[in-house]
Amino acid sequence: MGRSDEGAPSPTDLKKITYGKLRAGLISNYTEKGNATLYTTVDGAETIGGLKELDRFVGFTAEHDGPPVTALTTDYARMFAKRQLAAGYSTATVNRSLSCLRRMLALAHEEGKIQTVPIIKMQKEPDTTNWFHFTGGFRKTTCGAAKSPSAPDQFPLLVRMPEGRSACDYVGSS
């Protein structure tokens, strides 16, 4: 029994499945699910964060559908990540694009268009959380804000600050 008898697409059929068709499937899936990350650009095109960079890399345009699905391999994703990082993109931006590619391939697999899905690994993102350790109340913060504790030194406090925030944003300066 051949692979096509088992429902596997033939090599000729796989070459007909292009990046553009996978991209359209992803946009359609986001529309069906009502994902908030799907947005419309000024020119009226629907897109997802990270998709523009991936489109540019694969050569997708309105006139060109990009490479066939057989070209979208683990090595292809690694090459994409390497080039994007070398071009100065952040790991977070690269990961948004890689997650789009990963989801496109997973959808194609779910729909029976491809038999296997290449492994697409995300880049390690730096921890952008600021941690501050206070003991006995706020005596002196990094911004010089002084606060008198109402209670004696009893409990250490570990505060997790979101990216771009500091203790001064919450304590204030007086």
Q: Do the Cβ atoms of 120 and 74 come closer than 8 Å?
A: yes
Query: What is the residue-level pLDDT of the chain in tens, covering all 174 positions?
Result: 345 455 667 667 777 899 999 999 999 999 999 988 899 889 888 999 999 999 999 999 989 999 999 999 999 999 999 999 999 999 999 999 999 999 999 999 999 999 999 999 999 988 766 555 555 544 444 454 444 445 444 444 555 666 666 555 555 444
pLDDT value of residue 45: 87
Q: Do the Cβ atoms of 41 and 47 come closer than 8 Å?
A: yes
pLDDT value of residue 62: 87
pLDDT value of residue 104: 96
CA–CA separation, 110 vs 119, rounded Å?
A: 15
pLDDT value of residue 57: 96
CA–CA separation, 65 vs 167, rounded Å?
A: 49
CA–CA separation, 104 vs 26, rounded Å?
A: 6
pLDDT value of residue 155: 46
Residues 71, 75, 78, 82, CA torsion sign: negative
pLDDT value of residue 168: 57
pTM of the predicted structure, to 2 decimals? 0.69
